[in-house]
Structure 1
Amino acid sequence: MWSAEDVARDSVRRQGDGLPLTAVGERVAEAAVREQEAAERALVGGTFSEYEAEPERVAGIWAAKHVEWRRVRDLMAQCSWSRYEPDRDVQGSEWARSRAERRQAVLSGHAADLVRRQDERDELRAELWLSAGPSRLIRVAADRADLRPVEVLAQLAERVVVGEDGRVSVPPFSPSR
């Protein structure tokens, strides 16, 4: 999840694109008012119906927006920009790149997690109790192949063939590493 600062920086970057310095000054004033209102609402409790969010989160976002609008205003004044251009804002561009990288990392992690969960659903874990005779045969095969008995059983299961009539068989094979 993005922090309040991330949300504010992204919002200001998008909303500020092309705004003149006077309009950015108006956004600073608006953010100051909204920050105060949100802070007061956070003290009372409840949710903001327009955001369906917790009041503390909304208050944090408005405080961060106020800071970010002031930063943009000061940058524009310092650099004598007539309009805000996000691509010329080095610090803002670095933050945007960082957010994009973090977002991509989260999405990649989520995709990998989905694949892992699907693989887990496709796996079959079983506890198998064999009588003494078949158990000895599996142990002998495992010892000869320098494997554990469970590894021989896994190789056996991988080679199972189900015929059209439903019969299950395993073609002859030699367990190996």
Structure 2
Amino acid sequence: MDGTQTIARRSLLPLLVPIAVGALVAVALGVYGELHKPTGYAVSLAGFSGPLAMKVWLTTGAFVLALVQAFSALVMWGRIKLNVPWIGALHRWSGRIAFLLTLPVAFHCLYALGAQYDTARVMIHSILGCFFYGFFTTKMLALPRRGTPGWTLPVLGGLAFTALVGLWLTSSLWFFTTLGVKF
């Protein structure tokens, strides 16, 4: 083994625990969603006409903030040239708020509905939900680790972003185009 392979192998070692924990989170959510008998009781927040409206609007908020995340990441990584000293804070806070917006949605999905595989859209949505939290967990655990490859955060962030976009497409966009825009 030459020096390059040794360095590459060593640089992947800090990712083993975050990837393992993220995979466990994704699998645990999927198993729970499958084994948990859905209660059918809706979980909603004040101000929305019902739980579905709550879910699609909170997911839409998370989706918009994910777009802010992608844009701010491109600025931070120098892909978009802007001199904005607060871009790092914008990136961190938009991510935090986006994640918080997903929590009541995920709770409702798992508690009231469980994982469902009877239609393609709902099955994809259930799987993407598990993947989103797995990728998010992996990214958050990899974030403070030193010695990881330079592609780590862009790839993990991109995977979490992609899963969230897929969740929005299979829930909010479907809702808006099928049932209309409702609050």
Task: Give TM class, smaller chain.
Answer: under 0.3
Q: Select the structure with the greater relative contact order (CA < 8 A; seq sep ≥ 6).
A: 2
More helix by share: 2
Larger radius of gyration: 1
The TM-score normalised by the length of structure 2 is 0.24
The TM-score normalised by the length of structure 1 is 0.25
